[in-house]
Structure 1
Amino acid sequence: MSTDAFLKPDITITQTDANRLMLLAEKNESTISSVVEVLYAELDRARVVPDEAISSDVIRMGSYARFSGNSGPSRQITLVYPGKADIALDRLSILTPIGVALIGLSKGQSMDWQTRDGRIQRLVVEAVTPPVEKA
Structure 2
Amino acid sequence: METQPDIIISTADLAELEFQLERSKLPNDVIRAIENELDRATIVACKDLPENVVAIGSQVTFKILDTQRTFTKTLCLPADTIKFEDSISVFAPIGSALIGLSTGQSIKWQTQRGQQSVEIIDVSSNKR
Give yes or no for TM over 0.5: yes
Q: Once the two structures are aligned, what percentage of the paired residues are identical?
A: 32
Q: Of 19, 38, 46, which residue of structure 2 is paired with 1:51?
A: 46
SS of 1:31 mapped into structure 2: coil
Which blocks of at least 5 consecutive residues in structure 1 are unaligned? Answer: none
Q: 2: distance between equivalents of 1:32 and 1:25?
A: 11
RMSD: 1.6
- Alpha carbons of 1:50 and 1:62: their partners in 2 closer, same or farther (altered >3 Å)? same
Contact 1:71 1:121 in 2 (8 A): no
Q: Structure 2 regions of 5+ residues with no counterpart?
A: none
Partner of residue 84 from structure 1, selected from 80, 89, 98: 80
- Equivalence for 2:101: 105
Q: Distance in 1 between matches of 2:2 and 2:20?
A: 24
Offset of residue 25 of structure 1? 1.1
TM-score, length basis structure 2: 0.91
Q: Which of 36, 40, 44 matches 1:41?
A: 36
Q: TM-score, normalised by structure 1?
A: 0.86
- Poorly superposed stretches of 4+, deviation over 4 Å: none
**Residue 89 of structure 1: how far off its partner (Å):** 1.7
Alignment of 1:92-131 (within 5 A): 92-117=88-113, 119-131=114-126
2:18 is the counterpart of 1:27: no
